Amino acid sequence: MNTLRCSWLLAKKDLRCYFRDRGALAVGFLVPIALVTVFGWVMTSMSGGPGAMPKPILYVVDEASSESSHAFVDRLRKSTALRVLPKPDAPPLTRQDAEKKVADGDASHAMVIPSGFDLQDRTGSSPSLILYRDPGMAMEQQLIQIGLFQAAIAQSDGTLWWQGLKKNFLNAGLSEEDVAQVQISVDAMNVQIKESFAKSDNENESDASTKSETKGEPSDASDAMGGMMGFMTNMVPLEEKTIEPPYRPQRVTYQTAQSVAGMTVMSLLFALTGCASILLAEREKGTLRRLFAMSIPRQSVLLGKLLFAAIIGIIQVSILFVYGELMFRVGLFRDPLTLCVLALTWVAAATSFGMLIASTARSSAQADGLAQVVILVMAALGGCWFPLQTMQLPAVLDIASKSMMTYWAMSGFQGMLWNQLDLSSSKIQIALGWQWAWAIVLMALAMVMFRRNYTRD
């Protein structure tokens, strides 16, 4: 038999074996389809549409409830730089609600329009807008500033910006006569400004303002945004109130906390699923049959694998946390009790997931393919790669995201790392409750599938 014929026969044999395992075959082709679907869905929803920048959320409390304040909020809703919540048909928030959302990490910024506010007040007696902000969300703050700047000028039909410019001129030392001469040219420009802002509702004007930061020039971008914010404050008085947990390490950024938590959650899923697959390996090698021949309860085999995977999970999460703290100084060990409870809870949930995969799959190849697609989808929808907790997602995507146990793991870890919450926080308790619910359900299903696929005579 020549080499080519022998090679072809071996290839046919491998193809026959490959297509015989229908479960692994289906998973192999579904993995790229599922990933493309999930990533496209999540990224499109995050950015607000094809080619758009991700929009930060600004919660607005309208205490003035006047015609002027309603018009200003409507202008903010039309901004291409931000999203305004709550929606018009949703119950309004109070000032205390807005402040609590920022303090709990459910929002990065919230603005209060106080009673008596008038955007076009000429006397200077109008109260200032109040902006509650988390200083760690610098990019979101810059985009929100752009949105406020757009809405303020657009609402005034292009005339409000002259008030800010006039104050800058006077502060710079120009006389009233010189400023009056400049105003002649400004009045001639007002018509053009009105036309420009009339068209701006459907255009994305934030890209040009943020390009310098994305190109690696944060200092220049910060100076430019600081100048814009100072100019806007001259037009519309704005009082900023910083809300930041007192024990948050100053060097920690939201992205760092997100990465440490997200990669730990996803890595543990992969690792414990791999540990649980030992059950499949023993069945394929025949050692599982020998264990069943011994006078031991058959369920003890599954529980033994569960205990083994859980111990490995505890060791791995400990190593990841120590390394993450040494590398990034995120304050992981600030609250050892909360950290231990969160870690053990996620180990239990991830181990139960791994045991279910091992109990359900018919072969190692099928288990590997099934685990990959499910873990990657759960990681994307659960916020391991993208901080979904502070984003306003479409209803369907929001439900899908919160149905993932990874979402609640991320909610717990982010609550501890970024918002400095402890076990007494309702946010942490809810995250723990959902994870334990997942762990119990998944383990119960794993035991049912183990009886069906492993212990039948």
For the beta carbon of residue 296, count every other beta carbon within 10 angstroms.
Answer: 11
Distance of CA 288 to the CA centre of its chain: 43
Assess contact for 313 and 272: CB atoms under 8 A: yes
Contacts 24+ apart (CB under 8 A), 119-122: 119/68, 119/72, 119/152, 119/155, 119/156, 119/160, 119/236, 120/68, 120/156, 120/159, 120/160
Model pTM score: 0.67
Distance (Å, whole) CA 354 – CA 446: 9
- pLDDT, tens digit, 9 for 90 and up, residues 237-255: 778 898 888 777 766 677 7
Per-residue pLDDT tens digits of the chain, which is 457 residues long = 566 776 676 676 666 766 676 665 565 556 556 555 655 555 555 555 544 456 788 999 999 888 888 888 998 888 877 889 888 888 989 999 999 888 888 888 999 999 988 776 655 567 888 999 988 787 788 788 788 877 877 776 555 655 656 666 666 666 766 666 665 565 555 555 555 555 554 554 444 344 334 333 444 444 444 444 554 555 667 788 988 887 777 666 777 788 888 888 988 898 888 877 788 888 888 888 887 777 777 778 888 888 888 888 898 889 888 888 888 787 888 899 999 999 999 999 999 999 999 888 888 877 887 888 889 889 888 888 877 766 667 778 888 889 999 999 999 998 898 888 899 999 999 999 999 999 999 999 999 998 888 876 4
**Residue 119: both structure tokens together:** 């955007």
**Residue 405: both structure tokens together:** 């146990």
Q: How many CA atoms lie within 13 A of 452 on its CB side?
A: 12
> Quick one: which of 86, 417, 391 has its CA closest to 245?
417
List the domain boundaries for the chain: 57-242, 254-453
Distance (Å, whole) CA 189 – CA 173: 24
Distance (Å, whole) CA 161 – CA 157: 9
Q: What is the DSSP string of 371-408?
A: HHHHHHHHHHHHTSSS-GGGS---HHHHHHHHTSHHHH
